Structure 1
Amino acid sequence: MEGSSDIDLSKISVRPLGLADIDDFMVWGTDEKVAIFCTWEPYATKEEALNYIKEKILPHPWFRAICLDNRPIGAILVSSNSGSDRCRGELGYVLGSKYWGKGIATQAVKLVADTIFKEWTHLERLEAFVDVDNVGSQRVLEKSGFLREGVLRKFFILKGRTRDMVIFSLLSTECEA
């Protein structure tokens, strides 16, 4: 187990996130510490968050809640590419700040990597792009078996600032089958 956690990592699971999960979603969705490296700003109202769930999360092909005892404490998603990029997917995740450093995100990433290559058989490569300053997220990916490939300079505009991003990858052949 990572850190000084008393959390049983076998109780971590992923499942679809629904409208009924709004109160749990608001815990991390309103947290400025969580949103700092995300493309979204903290949600100001429950209505705003419900609209996001309805319009973006529910139609998404692979968006899941990270759950502790089936209660959402974060989210994880895989976005699929198309055309000649169809062999690649992009991983993203977010976790409530009170659960950071306990091995939960690492466990969730491992669960998703084991699952996504089986569900999406066309997928050969899973990628994650992490802000250079988000050291915690970089460690999650490294502990989950992802390879740090390099830094993409001035790659992404986040909240009005151009950011350097670290690219990580995991190949289907590197994942535990």
Structure 2
Amino acid sequence: MMEEDAICAATTNIRDEGIDLTQISLRPISLDDVDDVMAWTTDEKVARYCTWEPYTSKEEGINFIQNIASKSLWFRAICLNDRVIGCIDLSSCEGQGRNRHKSAELGYALGTRYWGKGIATHAVKQVVKAAFTEFPHLERLQALVFLENVASQRVLHKAGFQREGVFRKYEFIKGKSRDMVCYSFLSDDCPN
């Protein structure tokens, strides 16, 4: 079996096997995680729906951990058995030219090997609980998703977010104006 076939077989086995969501955790990221981070930040399929291009060097991974992640209001690595397979964060909406200090924007990325397994939905639900507990002033979480990213829209819907609508040509990303779908989750939406 050629190396490429072995990689495909391993990926298929991961896709076919169920993942125990109790093995999924959210934790702070560290420089020790850089190799795991590189596994999904170099993937064109992951970067397709993100604002960044696929990473091409370990230095970019280090910069992500040291500088980019630290600028979030709240940032966690999504881990399977303590291996980083993605990330999830909350960013303040206040710095976006609007006085929205009671709002935060949710963002996440997950390695393609783990798509379609309920991991992203599980992580988003955990973040919703954490957000309104750790930041009691928050009234609104929102997520902006590329219109063509239907899978991410399903994640948000399953996590209890409400679709608010499409913002046409809302953001200029990767050289073109992109339509974005806005989803929100309000503190009032949390079950008591």
- State the secondary structure of the residue aligned to 1:58: helix
State whether structure 2 residue 174 is matched by structure 1 residue 162: no
- Cα displacement (A) at 1:59: 4.3
CA contact (8 A) 1:17 1:58 kept: no
* CA distance in 2: counterparts of 1:94 and 1:10, whole angstroms: 19
Cα distance in 1 for partners of 2:191, 2:130 equals 10
Residue 144 in structure 1 maps to residue 159 in structure 2: yes
Which amino acid is 1:12 matched to? I
CA distance in 2: counterparts of 1:165 and 1:59, whole angstroms: 23
| Post-superposition offset of 1:137 | 0.3
Which residue of 7, 11, 28 corresponds with 2:40? 28
Verify: 1:8 aligned to 2:12, yes or no: no
* 1:84-113 CA distance string (max 9 Å, x none): 311110000000001000000000000000
AA aligned opposite 1:84? N
Pick the aligned partner of 1:122 from 127, 133, 137. Answer: 137
After TM superposition, the score normalised by the length of structure 2 is 0.87
Residue 65 and residue 176 in structure 1: after superposition, are their counterparts in 2 closer, same or farther (change >3 A)? farther
Cα distance, 1:172–1:5 mapped onto 2, change above 3 Å: farther
**Structure 1 residues 147 and 5, CA gap change in structure 2 (3 angstroms):** farther
Deviations 1:106-146 (A, max 9, x none): 00000000111000011000000000000000000000000
Structure 1 residue 51: deviation in Å?
Answer: 1.8
From 66, 74, 81, the equivalent of 2:93 is: 81
Shift of residue 5, structure 1, vs aligned partner? 5.0
- SS of the equivalent of 1:86 reads coil
Q: How far is 1:4 from its partner? A: 6.0
2:128 to 93, 106, 113: 113
2:67 to 28, 44, 55: 55
Larger mean Cα displacement after TM superposition, 45-54 or 126-135: 45-54
Q: Which residue of 2 aligns with 1:44?
A: 56
Question: In the TM superposition, what whole-angstrom CA distance separates every residue of 1:57-90 from its partner, at most 9, and x where no partner exists?
Answer: 1343311101111211000000123373111100
Q: CA RMSD in A?
A: 1.5
Higher RCO, 1 or 2 (CA under 8 Å, sep at least 6)?
1
Moved more, 96-105 or 39-48: 39-48
1:132 maps to: 147
Rounded to whole Å, the distance in 2 between the matches of 1:4 and 1:170 is 32
Name the count of aligned residue pairs: 175
Q: Which region of structure 1 is more displaced relative to structure 2, 28-37 or 10-19?
A: 10-19
Secondary structure of residue in 2 paired with 1:85? coil
| Structure 1 residue 52 displacement after superposition | 2.4
Cα deviations by residue, 1:15-41 (Å, 9 ceiling, x for unpaired): 111111001000111000000011111
Sequence identity of aligned pairs in percent?
Answer: 55
Given that 1:125 and 1:170 are in contact with CA atoms closer than 8 Å, whether structure 2 keeps it comes out as yes
In structure 1, what is the Cα distance between the partners aligned to 2:128 and 2:191?
9
**Counterpart pick for 1:93 among 104, 108, 131:** 108
